[in-house]
A and B are shown apart, each in its own frame.
Chain A
Amino acid sequence: MLGLNPGKQLRELNRLIGVQFQATSIQKKMKVKEALDLFSSFYKGKTQKDQLIDMLGLGEKLNVHFEDLSGGWKQRVTLALATLHKPELLFLDEPSMGLDPHARREMWEMIRTLRGHGSTIVVTTHYMEEAEKLCDRVAMIYSGELKALNTPDALLDDVATHYLAFDSERMSYEYLLTLSDVVRVEKEKGDFKVFSENLQHTAYQIFTYCHDENIELKNFKFERGSLDDLFVQYLEKEKTG
């Protein structure tokens, strides 16, 4: 890793990497300021402590004990501790776990800024949306096996994740299944999802059918599946063999 052997040169390696663990804490009674000072002293040379305080808005919390911070602020502090020394490689384990939607977006913004500074960042997450929005490359790992590795765009281009979505009261589920390109149809009350190998042709068939049968279609959309769908698809492929 980074030209070093983790077994033999762990200390040298630890100077170059940063790790933000999931749900670990620092000493409860330690002030934010003290934690930043202490961790700065572990590294040679000047750290980017002051820039991080600005960037993460930690200024107002410097004298607060770690145990009195909210979840979002704790994550910011531990993110700061992991990045003080401008690590070349930064590991973030579920960085937005337990954050409210607003705090999560802010966390993403910070991670993007850090990426902009030139660090390679490895993020572990259960939120597919997070992977999709944040990452240049996504690896899907299930029960210890690598299932997919590519850019989010390339992963999303995978055929089976594309579908047509529409609402209709009277649309026939059975008819949709008879169409030649259709792979799978999901129906929940009046909401349909039609997975097809040829979306345009299937759309044409559906529209013709509805026109002839005088069936009303609402909210017709060409949908690109999310990484969520892709993940489920890999799992199902696995189950069916």
Chain B
Amino acid sequence: MNTVMKLANLETKMFFRDRLSVFWTFLFPVVMIWLFGSMFSGDMAGPFTFAEVFIPSWIGVNIVTTSFFTLGTVLAGYRETGVLRRYQSTPLQPWKILAAHTVQGTVIFIISAILLMVFGMVMYDLQAPMYIGSTLLALFISILAFFPFALFVTSLAKNTQSAAAISSLFLNLMLFLSGATFPIEMMPTVLQYVAKVLPLYYVIQLLRGTWNEAPISEFGLEVGILLGIAVVSIVLASRYFRWSDQ
């Protein structure tokens, strides 16, 4: 366990040494909220305020960025440059590496979520989640679904560039089609069906719902689908995990 925490701690430190990833993970979502806020915050259709809809959504989006970029793309790079292969020649067990990266990803995600929430509270009078336990559980389930999903998808890439390309594709698809940025109700019917295929859709329903409306027990369908994704992608990610491309 000592090694897991040491590695997680180091990886977190190294994340903060890379200014670009700090910008995309922490500042970009805040800037987006601020931009959308200056456009829409006055005239929201429906019963909820701008912040009540969009802060939980962007917290959901950040699960996607963390899984695909902080975890997936970075590990694809480690595979390409031989970092993982070097580990492989030591007594370090494989699960410890994955555990360390999961811990690191979770820490970075939590920081970004708190940042968004505080920004919402200060700028847009956002209230803390109505069912805080439910929201935390929803976040946990979402991470459980997305981390292994992204690890699996990016492990199909040959190198860092293609891993980053795959990640950008998934991020943009989900960003625009899962209701995180544009209300689903405004989309054509076909796209509404597409949205429901994307896992982020369920994360966002769950986060918005537990934040503003009801405890997690009311969202059986979403929880079920996300747990299903979690099980399938954990199986796939561990079966197809590779140390190197040779």
Q: List chain A positions with a Cβ less than 8 A from chain B.
A: 11, 14-15, 17-19, 21, 23-27, 29-30, 34, 37-39, 41-43, 65, 78, 81-82
| Cβ contacts under 8 Å, B2 to chain A | 41
Question: Does B239 lie at the interface of the complex (its beta carbon under 8 Å from any beta carbon of A)?
Answer: no
Given known contacts A19-B89, A25-B81, A38 and B17 CB-to-CB distance under 8 angstroms: no
Can you pick out 20 interface pairs between chain A and chain B where the beta carbons lie within 8 Å of each other? A11-B93, A15-B91, A19-B86, A19-B89, A21-B85, A21-B86, A21-B89, A23-B82, A25-B81, A26-B86, A27-B11, A27-B14, A27-B78, A27-B83, A30-B10, A30-B14, A38-B6, A42-B91, A43-B90, A43-B91
**B7, closest chain A residue (CB):** A38
| Cβ contacts under 8 Å, B3 to chain A | 41-42
| Cβ contacts under 8 Å, A18 to chain B | 89
Judge whether A17 and B14 touch: CB under 8 Å.
no
Distance between Cα atoms of A38 and B81 in the complex (Å): 18
Question: Does B92 lie at the interface of the complex (its beta carbon under 8 Å from any beta carbon of A)?
Answer: yes
Judge whether A42 and B92 touch: CB under 8 Å.
yes
| Cβ contacts under 8 Å, B90 to chain A | 14, 39, 42-43
Judge whether A25 and B82 touch: CB under 8 Å.
yes
Question: Does B185 lie at the interface of the complex (its beta carbon under 8 Å from any beta carbon of A)?
Answer: no
Given known contacts A27-B14, A29-B18, A30-B10, A21 and B82 CB-to-CB distance under 8 angstroms: yes
Measured between C-beta atoms, what is the minimum distance from A25 to chain B in Å? 5
| Cβ contacts under 8 Å, A65 to chain B | 17
| Cβ contacts under 8 Å, A81 to chain B | 86
Q: Which of B2, B85, B90 has most chain A Cβ within 10 Å?
A: B90
Chain B contact surface mostly:
helix
**B244, closest chain A residue (CB):** A24
Interface residues of B in 1-40 (CB under 8 A from A): 2-3, 6-7, 10-11, 13-14, 17-18
Per-residue 0/1 for B84-100: is the Cβ within 8 Å of any A Cβ (1 yes, 0 no)?
01100111110000000
Given known contacts A14-B91, A17-B89, A39-B90, A26 and B10 CB-to-CB distance under 8 angstroms: no
Q: List chain B positions with a Cβ less than 8 A from chain A.
A: 2-3, 6-7, 10-11, 13-14, 17-18, 78, 81-83, 85-86, 89-93
| Cβ contacts under 8 Å, B92 to chain A | 42
**B14, closest chain A residue (CB):** A29
Judge whether B85 and A24 touch: CB under 8 Å.
yes
| Cβ contacts under 8 Å, A42 to chain B | 3, 90-92
Q: Which of B7, B10, B85 has most chain A Cβ within 10 Å?
A: B10
Among B10, B18, B86, the residue within 8 A (CB) of A24 is B86
Judge whether B17 and A25 touch: CB under 8 Å.
no
**A81, closest chain B residue (CB):** B86
Judge whether B91 and A24 touch: CB under 8 Å.
no
Measured between C-beta atoms, what is the minimum distance from B160 to chain A in Å? 11
| Cβ contacts under 8 Å, B86 to chain A | 19, 21, 24, 26, 78, 81
Distance between Cα atoms of A57 and B107 in the complex (Å): 36
Judge whether B89 and A24 touch: CB under 8 Å.
no
User: Sorted from nearest, which 3 A-B pairs have the closest CB atoms?
Assistant: A24-B82, A19-B89, A29-B14
Among B17, B81, B82, B89, the residue within 8 A (CB) of A29 is B17
Distance between Cα atoms of A81 and B82 in the complex (Å): 14
| Cβ contacts under 8 Å, B81 to chain A | 24-25
| Cβ contacts under 8 Å, B11 to chain A | 27
A-B contacts besides A26-B83, A42-B3, A43-B90, 10 pairs, CB < 8 Å: A14-B91, A21-B85, A21-B89, A24-B81, A24-B85, A30-B10, A34-B13, A38-B7, A39-B90, A41-B3
Measured between C-beta atoms, what is the minimum distance from A228 to chain B in Å? 29
Distance between Cα atoms of A34 and B6 in the complex (Å): 10
Measured between C-beta atoms, what is the minimum distance from A5 to chain B in Å? 16
Given known contacts A24-B83, A27-B83, A38 and B10 CB-to-CB distance under 8 angstroms: yes
| Cβ contacts under 8 Å, B10 to chain A | 27, 30, 34, 38
Measured between C-beta atoms, what is the minimum distance from B114 to chain A in Å? 24
Distance between Cα atoms of A43 and B2 in the complex (Å): 12
**B18, closest chain A residue (CB):** A29
Distance between Cα atoms of A102 and B216 in the complex (Å): 67
Measured between C-beta atoms, what is the minimum distance from A37 to chain B in Å? 7
| Cβ contacts under 8 Å, B17 to chain A | 29, 65
Measured between C-beta atoms, what is the minimum distance from A115 to chain B in Å? 20
Measured between C-beta atoms, what is the minimum distance from B7 to chain A in Å? 6
Measured between C-beta atoms, what is the minimum distance from B15 to chain A in Å? 8
